[in-house]
Every structure is written in C-alpha cells, then in structure tokens.
Amino acid sequence: MATYSRLPGSVALITLQNPPVNALSAAVRQGIVDTVQRALKDPKVTSVVICGQNGKFCGGADIREFAGPMLGPPLVPMIHAIEAVDKPVAAAIEGVALGGGLELALGCHYRIAHSKALLGLPEVTLGLLPGAGGSQRLPRLIGLTAALDLITTGRQHDSSFFSSLHLLCVCSQSISSVCVSGQSLDSRRLSTLPCPCPPDVDSLLDKTMVKVRQRSRGALAPVACVQALMAAASLPYTQGMEKERDLLTTLFNSGQARALQYAFFSQRVVGKWSLPSGASWDNSAARTISKAAVIGLGTMGRGIVVALALTGISVVAVETQEKQLAEASQVVPAMLQREAGRRSLATPPGVISFSSNLQDVCEVELVIEAVFEDMSLKLQVFRHLTSVCRPGTLLCSNTSGLDIDRLAAVTQSPGLVVGMHFFAPAHVMKLLEVVYGPRSSPEAVATAMQLGKRMGKVSVAVGNCPGFVGNRMLKPYLEQANFLLEEGATPQQVDEVLEEFGFPMGVFRMSDLSGLDVGWRIRKEAGLTGPGVESTRTRQGRRYSPLPDQVCEAGRLGQKTGRGWYQYDGPGGRVARSDHWVNIFLEAYRAEHGLVARSIAPEEILERCLYALINEGFNILQDAMAAGPEDIDAIYVFGYGWPRHHGGPMFHAGQVGLGRILERLQHHHHNHPDVPHLKPSTLLRRLVAVGSPPVQKWREFINKERVHSQL
Ligand SMILES: CCCCCCCCCCCCCC(=O)CC(=O)SCCNC(=O)CCNC(=O)[C@H](O)C(C)(C)COP(=O)(O)OP(=O)(O)OC[C@H]1O[C@@H](n2cnc3c(N)ncnc32)[C@H](O)[C@@H]1OP(=O)(O)O
Ligand SMILES: NC(=O)C1=CN([C@@H]2O[C@H](COP(=O)(O)OP(=O)(O)OC[C@H]3O[C@@H](n4cnc5c(N)ncnc54)[C@H](O)[C@@H]3O)[C@@H](O)[C@H]2O)C=CC1
C-alpha cells in the first residue's frame, strides 16, 4: 500500500509500504494511484513527495507477481500520469531505487537521494528490460552512452555516481521532507526531451550489440535492451514506448525470464538452510570468527587466505614446503591488494602472518585445511590440528569430495568438523559448499554458513557423499564427454556444443584450465588408475575411459604445462588451439580398442552430457544430500558456469520436460547398458509418474515420498 500525509505547509507525502523492499505490488500501485489523486484534488497541496518506508525507496516491480495474472493498475500508465500532473512531484530516495522503483523516480519531476542510496536498472539480470518507460526516459536524461552501459549490465551505483550524470541531487542527511519550488515543469518531463546521442551513434550501437552478444552467450535480454535503446535514440517517445512494450512482451514470455527469476529466488532460498536433522538458522547460533588459519598455500589456500582477510579476519597461513611458503608470502599480499582495489576497499583489512609451523595455529577460532587431496595426509593434518588447537576450535576441510566424517573421527570434537569447499579462484568465485557430516553440530554448520555470507559467497549446505553435490554431478558429465571422444567426437566438437548451450567453457577447455592432474589424483585415490591397475575400459565393474589418465601420463596437464586437450602458447598460455597430437592420439586409442569412430550429432552430445548430470542431480535429491532443487541449481550457476538464463540443471530439466528427460535417458541407457549413470533415477520416474510437477513443488513431493518410504 501507500500512505498519504500532509506535511506542515503545502507538501503531500506519499509513503510506499511493502516490506522488506517496498516492491511495487498491485496494492502499492493502487495506493500510489489513489494518493496521487488525493494530492491533486487537495487545493492546499502545491507539491508532492514520494518516499519509501523504513529507509528504502523501492526495490522495483514485485517479482513474485510475475508468475501470476497481472492485477491492479499497470505501471506504465501510472508513471505516465505522475509525469503529466501539474503539481511538482519529487522522489525522495533512501536505501534502494531499483528497476521499477527507479523508473517511478524517472517519472517524477525531481529526484533527491541520500548519499548512501543505491540505484540501478537490474531488469536484465531477471531476463527483462526496464519496461516501465526506463529504457526511454533514462537515455533522455543521462544520454545514450551512459544508459547503454547501465541498462545492458544491470549495474547498480550509489547516488554520487548518478548525481554526476545529473540524474538526481544528493543530500547527506536522512530524507524526511523535501521542498520543491514552483517552477515550470515542462523541462522536467523526461518523455518530452530529446535523447542526447554521440555523433557516431550508429557505430556505438553496433559495437555495443557485438559486445553484448559476445558477453551474453545466448541470453536474450541484453540484446533486447540494446534494441530498446536503439528505439530511444531514433524514434519519438511514443513509438519508443511501443517498441519497449513489444520487446518486454517477448522477453516476459520467454523461458529465459522465468529461469532468471527462479535463479534470483533460489539464491535466497539456499541462504535459509535447514538440515534433515531440523537444524537451521532459527535454532543454531553461529560463532563470530575473528582469527582463522589456512593450512596449505597452493592454488586454493592462497585464495582462501585472501577471502578471509578481505572480511577483516586475521589469518595464520601455514605451508610446509619452503619454496611454496616463500612464493605465497610474496603472492598473497599482492592478490589481497588487487582484490581490495577491485572491491573499492581502501585498505585490505585483515592481518596475515605466514608460518611453516602448524603449532602457530593454536590461538585461532577456525582452521581451513587445503593440503593435497590425499586422505592419509589430511588425516595426519587433522590429528595434528586437534592436538595443537584450543578445545572448541572449528576444523574445516576444503576437500573436493573426500569423506568429512573420516576426518571428524580422528579429532577430539567431531561435532566441530565441517567441509568448506571453495571453488577456484577462492577469493573470486561466489560458491561455497558447506558440507555437514553425520556428526557435524548445527553450530559448526551455522558458523561456516555465516562465514561464507561474510565473505560474500553463496553458501549452500550439502550432505557428505563422494564429490558432495557439485563434483558428484560433474563425474557423469565428464564421463560422457570422454566416452564421446572414444566413440568419434573431438574435444572441440564437444566443447562447441556446450558453449553454444551457454557454458563459458566447454568441458575440455575447462579441464585444461583447472589442471588435468586434479581429477587424475582423485582417480588414483579411488583406485581407478595408477600403478598396478590394468589398462582396460572396464574398471570396478563399469565402463571406464582411461583417455584422461593417458593424456596426463603423456605429461599434458592442461594450461599449466602448455598442453592438454588443446595446445597453448607455452606453459600458462590461455588461448586454446586444436592439437594434431590429440587427434592422432584418439585415432590410435580407438584402433587399439577396436572402436570405430562415428559421426555424432550435436543433440546427442548435449543430451548425454547434460542429462547424465541432471540424472545424478535427481539421485542427490533422492539421497537427501541437497535440501532441494534450488540448492543444486545455485551450486551449478555460481560454481560451475551453468548459464543463468537456463536457471540451473534441475530447473532446465523441468523446462525440457521431465518425461522427455526420462525418455532420452532410457534411450541412451539402452544403447550403453554398461553406464550406470544413464539409468534414470527413481525420483525422476516418480515425478513423471505423478504428472511432472513444477520444480517449486519437488521439495514437498520428496519429503512426502520419504515419509511414505517411496524413495
Ligand atoms: C503478457 C505480457 C505482458 C508483458 C507486460 C507485463 C507487465 C510487466 C510489468 C512492467 C514491468 C516493468 C519492468 C520492471 O519494472 C521490472 C522490475 O522492476 S523487475 C525488479 C527489479 N528489481 C530488482 O531486480 C531488485 C531485486 N532485489 C534486490 O536486488 C535485493 O533484494 C535488494 C538490493 C533490493 C535488497 O537486498 P538485501 O537487503 O540483500 O535483501 P534480499 O535480497 O535478501 O531481499 C529481501 C527479501 O525481499 C525480496 N525481494 C527483493 N526484491 C524484490 C522484488 N523486487 N520483488 C519481490 N521480492 C523482492 C527477496 O526475495 C527477499 O525475500 P525472501 O523471502 O527472502 O526471498
Ligand atoms: N585446485 C582446485 O581447483 C580445487 C581444489 N580443491 C581442494 O583443495 C585442496 C588443495 O588443492 P590445491 O590448492 O589445488 O592443491 P595444491 O597442490 O596447489 O596445494 C596444496 C598445498 O598444500 C601444501 N601442503 C601439503 N602438505 C602440507 C602440510 N602437512 N601442511 C601444510 N601444507 C601442506 C603443499 O605444499 C601445497 O602447497 C585439495 O583438497 C583439493 O582437492 C577444492 C576446490 C578446487
């Protein structure tokens, strides 16, 4: 709703009220229409101020309403009517003015903002464009060039940025009342102004379109945003608005908008974690950490030290290898400085001390171990830690998939052991899997989740199983990619199909970047390869491709060695080029195993890679290793480059149709009966049997099935 009050004198104050962000729900829009009418009718009122309750102007259209029928007054005519009134209307902005909130402010004649306010048009991140006149009014006010950048990226800025673009005036005190003088409003109606364009407007639009297409990897909204701004630059306002509406309608009805809005909410759902035991934020107290330690300063440990230090935590950084320690003590402060700069933090807040002695961690409150992925080494480190740390210290492991419970078992307080699985580079990547074992206490989980939040991560609580959630699903995906090579595909063919789908990198390019030795080490640890293991295509009772092991054995570890599935300009090179060696190697391999190469259609590549991964997602839900499909989807969007406009693997399964996924898995499993990952999961079958409910209903369905022991 919106409330109306008369301030002393002649100012009417309209306050938007819809906690927590005063989103423009039907009730709020109705409230605005009614209160503006009231102000216009009151002869004592000479000016109107619109503000938001609780120090927040408005977080935009109410995204939850997008899923249902549009009720209440529509936004576009409402804003147009405000702009047309003959009493001055000012938007008094505190907190946020985003999306429809900023569009409402652009319909007002004046905008005054608190110095700490945050403004932007983030619609593109929801698969939309600023469709309440924003794509037409903003460029008329700040010029085409600045509007293109803001609208196509959805970036948010503070009020000083917008004041430099003459979008608003800034005030540094709390805005409780604003007086607007009685000047002519003609020049204050943005829809009547021309759109300031640079002389080379066509070239600017063309270049932006190229850039946006490259960056968006198949996302429709950024392209539509440029098209709407082209209209603003070339058409009268009314025609521009028609174009805006047409583009918005197309986007609104696209699966991409639904996927991106789902991704917005799933990020928030996973923050409200709860464990099968019933533990959640509501009943678990998190400890505040001020001193931590990181053990092992390789690729991951260095990033974790930086991530912790950026939150103001003091870190003891421990490394046993002299050379690694010397290198880390040079590199880590530089990384910290760079990242602090990128985040506009004046001085990096945390204090880091480097040590080669594990004894130096005795005073910290939390330890994150990041030594090699080797269970016996990790057990040794955990035994040592439990003997040197104060009782009550939280002990965490960054393992990619080893058993957290085994680590907990060698400590004095198994309840205080959890996994904190970061993603490389740890100070940049948004995802953190917080792995709870059967004995992890709610307090330990809550503390790790809270710490993740402080570090700006999307933290997802996951169960303790080999590979946890992300890497467990990655296994069948990688496996299919390798099988496709055996059957006749090339790394480039597979990568092109996956990149066309929207992944920033295909599976082989990605593996080269991560280092092929990472998986090699894990397969050795699992007894799948290494000395004494026979080089057959069946291992531990199922089809196995020794291809990636053989690539590693040839000394090709990816970008770090300048060669892997591709070749690079020397070690550390970034540009992947196809490598004749790989083609010869694949031919020789097929010949050795009597395999005849066949031509494989892109659809088969996509289906086998994605559906095998999705199928494992269903198995994970069935095993209660993830609380719901949103958790899996957030993990894949934030940690594995799953294109956000496809929502996440489980959302995508729903969009493709669960019946179709089941049918294709059955087909591929029939052709490859020796690949258990292609056998459709029981949960998938059960969901199809009950009519394929939407993804939002799966959690409830799974819980019911579990109660009735159907899963
Ligand atoms: C048939 C075809 C018809 C075509 C025409 C259709 C008509 C369409 C109407 C015209 C559309 C006009 C276009 C337009 O105006 C579009 C928009 O405005 S889209 C919305 C743009 N706004 C945003 O993207 C802001 C989203 N929110 C945020 O970024 C953050 O929430 C925010 C910075 C505001 C606050 O962050 P923080 O303090 O960290 O809190 P949370 O993020 O946890 O949020 C708290 C709580 O609030 C919920 N929420 C936030 N914003 C919205 C919102 N805009 N609508 C609904 N709910 C919102 C959020 O989900 C949290 O609640 P939970 O219960 O925890 O999920
Ligand atoms: N590299 C990656 O992309 C990811 C790795 N991980 C996991 O993180 C952990 C570390 O991986 P990386 O950083 O890639 O390994 P790395 O090989 O780059 O670094 C490991 C470091 O640990 C040090 N170390 C070994 N024993 C030690 C001990 N007893 N005390 C102190 N330091 C010791 C080594 O000298 C080395 O510097 C592994 O468990 C790995 O599975 C998790 C996510 C991603």
Q: Phi first, then psi: what are they for 318, rounded to 5°?
A: -115, 135
With 0-12 / 13-18 / 19 or more C-beta atoms within 10 angstroms meaning exposed / middle / buried, residue 631 is buried
Give the pLDDT confidence score for residue 172 in this predicted structure: 65
> In CATH, what number is assigned to the domain containing residue 440?
3.40.50.720
Q: Is residue 130 part of a domain?
A: yes
Ligand 2 pocket, 1 CB below 6 A? no
Q: Is residue 506 part of a domain?
A: yes
Distance of alpha carbon 422 from its chain centroid, rounded? 14
Q: Is 123 a catalytic residue?
A: yes
Residue 434 tokens read as 């917080």
- Spatial CB neighbours of 510, under 8 Å, sequence gap ≥ 6: 503, 641
Is 395:411 a contact under the CB 8 Å cutoff?
Answer: yes
Residue 617 tokens read as 């997602």
Average pLDDT over residues 327-353: 89
Catalytic residue chosen out of the listed positions 83, 94, 103, 479: 103
Is 119:96 a contact under the CB 8 Å cutoff?
Answer: yes
Ligand 1 pocket, 241 CB below 6 A? no
Q: Are residues 197 and 131 both part of a single domain?
A: yes
- Spatial CB neighbours of 512, under 8 Å, sequence gap ≥ 6: 558, 559, 564, 565, 566, 568, 576
Q: Are residues 120 and 172 both part of a single domain?
A: yes
User: pTM (2 decimals)?
Assistant: 0.94
Residue 148 tokens read as 């293109």
Ligand 1 pocket, 704 CB below 6 A? no
Pairing of strands 291-295, 169-171: unpaired
Among residues 297, 343, 349, the alpha carbon closest in space to that of 323 is found at: 297
CA of 465 to the centre of ligand 1 (A): 35
Ligand 2 pocket, 297 CB below 6 A? yes
Confidence of residue 349 (pLDDT cuts 50, 70, 90): low
- Does 8 or 297 have the greater pLDDT score? 297
Query: DSSP H helical segments within 343-459, as ranges?
Result: 375-388, 404-409, 442-454
Q: Is residue 477 part of a domain?
A: no
With 0-12 / 13-18 / 19 or more C-beta atoms within 10 angstroms meaning exposed / middle / buried, residue 166 is exposed
CB count within 10 Å of CB 304 equals 28
Q: Are residues 564 and 648 both part of a single domain?
A: no
Report the alpha-carbon distance of residue 93 to residue 171 in Å, rounded.
10
Cα-based torsion angle of the residue sequence 450, 454, 455, 456 in order, rounded to the nearest 10 degrees:
100
* 3-state class (DSSP) for residue 314: strand
pLDDT 10s digits, 234-254? 999 999 999 999 999 999 999
Q: Are residues 649 and 631 both part of a single domain?
A: yes
Q: Phi first, then psi: what are they for 127, rounded to 5°?
A: 80, 15
Q: Is residue 275 part of a domain?
A: no
pLDDT 10s digits, 368-412? 999 998 999 999 999 999 999 999 999 999 999 999 999 999 999
CB count within 10 Å of CB 47 equals 21
Confidence of residue 348 (pLDDT cuts 50, 70, 90): low
Q: Is residue 384 part of a domain?
A: yes
Report the alpha-carbon distance of residue 482 to residue 477 in Å, rounded.
9
Which ligand has the minimum distance to the alpha carbon of residue 370?
Answer: 2
Is 662:618 a contact under the CB 8 Å cutoff?
Answer: no
CA of 150 to the centre of ligand 2 (A): 40
* Percent of the chain whose predicted confidence (pLDDT) is above 90: 91
Average pLDDT over residues 202-209: 97
Range of the domain at 530: 489-592
Q: Is residue 437 part of a domain?
A: yes
Q: Are residues 227 and 156 both part of a single domain?
A: yes
Is it the case that residue 101 has pLDDT exceeding 70? yes
CA of 373 to the centre of ligand 2 (A): 7
Q: Are residues 618 and 670 both part of a single domain?
A: yes
Ligand 2 pocket, 319 CB below 6 A? yes
* Percent of the chain whose predicted confidence (pLDDT) is above 70: 98
Confidence of residue 581 (pLDDT cuts 50, 70, 90): very high
Q: Ligand 2, atom 44: nearest CA belongs to which residue?
A: 423
Average pLDDT over residues 569-586: 96
Average pLDDT of every residue of the chain: 95
The preferred substitution site among 21, 71, 245 for testing ligand 1, maximizing ligand atoms within 8 Å of CB, is 21
Q: Is residue 216 part of a domain?
A: yes
CA of 398 to the centre of ligand 2 (A): 8
Q: Domain ends where: 201, 228, 252?
A: 252
Q: Are residues 503 and 439 both part of a single domain?
A: no
Q: Domain ends where: 571, 592, 613?
A: 592
Q: Is 103 a catalytic residue?
A: yes
Ligand 2 pocket, 113 CB below 6 A? no
* 3-state class (DSSP) for residue 641: coil
Q: Domain ends where: 547, 571, 592?
A: 592
Average pLDDT over residues 553-562: 96
Pairing of strands 11-16, 47-52: parallel
> In CATH, what number is assigned to the domain containing residue 581?
1.10.1040.10
> In CATH, what number is assigned to the domain containing residue 214?
3.90.226.10
Q: Is residue 266 part of a domain?
A: no
CA of 540 to the centre of ligand 2 (A): 27
pLDDT 10s digits, 105-154? 999 999 999 999 999 999 999 999 999 999 999 999 999 999 999 999 99
What's the domain count of the chain? 4
Q: Are residues 635 and 544 both part of a single domain?
A: no
Report the alpha-carbon distance of residue 498 to residue 506 in Å, rounded.
5
Least confident of 199-208, 511-520, 648-657: 511-520
Q: Are residues 111 and 241 both part of a single domain?
A: yes
Q: Are residues 395 and 543 both part of a single domain?
A: no
Average pLDDT over residues 190-219: 95
Q: Count how many Cα atoms sit within 13 Å of the Cα of residue 513 in the half-sphere of its side chain.
A: 13
Give the pLDDT confidence score for residue 181 in this predicted structure: 58
Report the alpha-carbon distance of residue 234 to residue 140 in Å, rounded.
12
Ligand 1 pocket, 103 CB below 6 A? yes
Give the pLDDT confidence score for residue 236 in this predicted structure: 98
pLDDT 10s digits, 145-192? 999 999 999 999 999 999 999 898 887 654 444 555 567 898 999 999
Give the pLDDT confidence score for residue 611 in this predicted structure: 98
Q: Are residues 245 and 324 both part of a single domain?
A: no
Q: Are residues 71 and 94 both part of a single domain?
A: yes
Is it the case that residue 71 has pLDDT exceeding 70? yes
pLDDT 10s digits, 438-460? 999 999 999 999 999 999 999 99
